[in-house]
């Protein structure tokens, strides 16, 4: 089954809103055995919407549309589909009752313009949307399917998961693609590729490598009539790759480094604290992006000024001798964080996020240090002047990887 995705909305076309819906949908199509061939964006213009729909109808078995289901004149997805199929909309009594109830529950009358959200055409049925007023449309005719969902991501994601995906799964008579991602760190992509190469020729399996900020990923893919069959081909390859890469593997599929660190620290009953300047709180924010971080994370300090670092326990002699942006000061910050919060591990980050140099240190220079239970400190320095936001993100990833390394070494 071939598919394409169309996002409708002038704000998306003009880049005022970044379209994350299309990526969300695209990522779940392979496991349904659906091949995605095109994505497109069109503004709130009926002529161009219809033109785009006609092309999709002509070439794709499945067209997934997001956006343009609101109540205003600018929302023209339903009108576009009516024009495409030459069908007349009518107000569905049950949908209208439901819609009026939605407004009544919130205690205000329904604007009459909203009534078009209760439209149906002969080829469409409504898709439930408990998170908003716009139901989706499942349109089916001549063996082709169009799915329309709201543009608001939370509404779209629920409708996709609860209404659309199960229906597409039921219809999947072809082959399903199952993928397994193995996440490694500490080995370059070329070497990973060399090490995995003996498995590339396994029949019925595809293996690829992908370089990411947090290490190199190996992806195993298998296409088969059933998920079980696909998994039965993946498992032996995964076992072999686990054997080859051993402790260089830190996670699988959707695992994140912050989730790995939480699991590992909680499992060991160990704790962590941070002291950061260049990353300005982002390191701590990422560490606590996973639920349950309070079980191991005791506290963090953002010491944006030199005096604040000293007040927080950093030895002023270290700053005096090596400078505030130095591996030594990062180490002293890691130790001070560990001491202040009485934790097993401490992370220190100091650097110049940019855009300007500070005290002669070029922007993009960041020192990261981890202090561990044995009073040992490890450092990493990055130098990459790629803009303030990117420098901060890169430094956070470096800190997470360095902590992981310290945990591994402590375990060894």
Q: Which of 16, 88, 112, 359 binds a copy of itself (CB under 8 A)?
A: 16
302 makes contact with a copy of itself (CB under 8 A) = yes
Considering only the stretches 20-28, 62-70, 259-267, 367-375, report the one whose residues sit in contact with a copy of itself under the rule CB under 8 A: 20-28
- The alpha carbon dihedral of 386, 387, 393, 399 has a sign of positive
Q: How many residues does the chain have?
A: 412
Q: From residue 330 to residue 369, what is the string marking binding to a copy of itself with x (rule CB under 8 A)?
A: -----------x-----------xxxx-------------
Of the two residues 212 and 235, which places its CB atom closer to a copy of itself in the complex? 212
Residues 6+ apart with CB under 8 A from 187: 195, 215, 216, 245, 248
Q: Is 387 in the site for a copy of itself (CB under 8 A)?
A: yes
Q: What share of the chain is helix, strand, coil (3-state, %, to 5)?
A: 45, 25, 30
Chain centroid to CA 138: how far? Answer: 27
Q: Which stretch binds a copy of itself (CB under 8 A): 64-72, 138-146, 190-198, 273-281?
A: 273-281
User: Using CB under 8 A, which of the segments 29-37, 107-115, 191-199, 259-267 binds a copy of itself?
Assistant: 29-37
Considering the rule CB under 8 A, would residue 301 count as an interface residue with a copy of itself?
A: yes
Both tokens assigned to 74: 């600018």
Name the strand (E) or helix (H) holding 166: helix 165-171
Give the CA distances from residue 214 to residues 143, 157, 167, 230, in Å, rounded to whole numbers and listed in that order: 44, 27, 35, 28
Q: Per rule CB under 8 A, is residue 32 in the interface with a copy of itself?
A: no
The smaller minimum CB distance to a copy of itself, of residues 48 and 98, is found at 48
CA distances from 107 to 101, 192, 286 (A): 10, 60, 39
In the 8-state DSSP scheme, what is residue 359? T
Taking contact as CB under 8 A, which single stretch among the options 28-36, 135-143, 328-336, 364-372 is the one that binds a copy of itself?
28-36
Q: Is 260 in the site for a copy of itself (CB under 8 A)?
A: no
Strands 119-120 and 297-302: unpaired
Minimum separation from the CB atom of position 26 to a copy of itself (A): 4
Q: Please identify which residue in 388, 405, 408, 410 interacts with a copy of itself, judged by CB under 8 A.
A: 388
Site for a copy of itself contains 83 (CB under 8 A): no
Among 32, 36, 120, 121, the residue binding a copy of itself under the rule CB under 8 A is 36
395 sits near a copy of itself (criterion: CB under 8 A): no
Q: Check residue 213 for interaction with a copy of itself (CB under 8 A).
A: no
Give the integer Cα–Cα distance in Å for 156 and 147: 11
Q: How far apart are CA 118 and CA 96, in angstroms?
A: 5
**Site for a copy of itself contains 185 (CB under 8 A):** no
Shortest spacing between CB 302 and a copy of itself, in angstroms? 4
One of 114, 124, 303, 397 touching a copy of itself (CB under 8 A): 303
Residues 148-167: x where in contact with a copy of itself by CB under 8 A, - otherwise, as a string: ------x-------------
Per rule CB under 8 A, is residue 100 in the interface with a copy of itself?
A: no
3-state DSSP call for residue 169? helix
Q: Does 30 bind a copy of itself (CB under 8 A)?
A: yes
Burial class (CB in 10 A: 0-12, 13-18, 19+), 37: exposed
Nearest to 242 by CA among 189, 181, 302, 305: 181
Contact 349, 395 (CB under 8 A): yes
- Residue linked to tokens 């709130």: 44
* Nearest to a copy of itself of 21, 124 (CB atom): 21
Kindly give the pairing relationship between strand 136-141 and strand 124-127. antiparallel
Q: Pick from 269, 294, 359, 412: which binds a copy of itself (CB under 8 A)?
A: 294
Say how far apart CA 179 and CA 72 lie, in whole Å.
Answer: 41
| Cα–Cα distance measured from residue 224 to residue 212, given in angstroms and rounded to the nearest whole number | 28
117 touching a copy of itself, by CB under 8 A: no
Residues near a copy of itself (CB under 8 A) are: 13-16, 18, 20, 22-27, 29-30, 36-43, 45, 48, 52, 154, 210, 274, 276, 279-285, 287-289, 291, 293-294, 297-305, 308, 311-312, 341, 353-356, 386-390, 392
């Amino acid at each position: 089954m071939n598919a394409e995705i169309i996002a409708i909305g002038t704000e998306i076309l003009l880049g005022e809103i970044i379209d994350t819906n299309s990526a969300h949908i695209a990522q779940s199509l392979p496991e349904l055995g659906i091949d995605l061939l095109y994505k497109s964006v069109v503004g709130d213009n009926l002529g161009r919407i219809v033109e785009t729909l006609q092309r999709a109808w002509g070439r794709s078995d499945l067209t997934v549309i997001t956006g343009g289901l609101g109540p205003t004149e600018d929302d023209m997805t339903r009108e576009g589909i009516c024009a495409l199929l030459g069908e007349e909309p009518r107000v569905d009594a049950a949908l209208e009752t439901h819609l009026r109830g939605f407004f009544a529950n919130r205690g205000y009358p329904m604007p009459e313009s909203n009534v078009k959200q209760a439209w149906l055409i002969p080829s469409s049925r409504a898709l439930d949307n408990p998170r908003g007023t716009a139901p989706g449309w499942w349109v089916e005719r001549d063996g082709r399917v169009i799915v329309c969902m709201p543009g608001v991501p939370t509404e779209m994601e629920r409708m996709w998961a609860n209404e659309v995906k199960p229906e597409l799964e039921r219809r999947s008579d072809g082959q399903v693609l199952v993928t397994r991602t193995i996440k490694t760190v500490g080995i370059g992509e070329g070497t990973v590729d060399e090490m995995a190469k003996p498995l590339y020729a396994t029949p019925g399996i595809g293996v690829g490598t992908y370089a990411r900020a947090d290490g190199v990923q190996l992806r195993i893919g298998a296409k088969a009539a059933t998920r079980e069959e696909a998994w039965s081909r993946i498992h032996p390859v995964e076992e072999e790759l686990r054997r080859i890469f051993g402790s260089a593997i830190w996670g699988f599929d959707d695992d994140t480094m912050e989730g790995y660190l939480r699991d590992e620290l909680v499992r060991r009953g160990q704790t962590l604290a941070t002291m950061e300047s260049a990353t300005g709180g982002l390191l701590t924010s990422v560490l606590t992006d996973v639920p349950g971080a309070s079980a191991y994370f005791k506290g963090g300090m953002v010491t944006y000024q030199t005096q604040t670092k000293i007040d927080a326990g950093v030895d002023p002699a270290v700053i005096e001798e090596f400078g505030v942006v130095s591996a030594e000061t990062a180490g002293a910050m890691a130790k001070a964080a560990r001491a202040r919060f009485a934790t097993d591990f401490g992370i220190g980050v100091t650097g110049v996020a940019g855009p300007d140099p500070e005290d002669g240190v070029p922007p993009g220079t960041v020192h990261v240090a981890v202090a561990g239970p044995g009073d040992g400190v490890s450092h990493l320095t990055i130098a990459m002047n790629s803009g303030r936001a990117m420098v901060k993100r890169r430094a956070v990833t470096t800190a997470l990887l360095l902590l992981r390394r310290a945990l591994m070494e402590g375990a060894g």
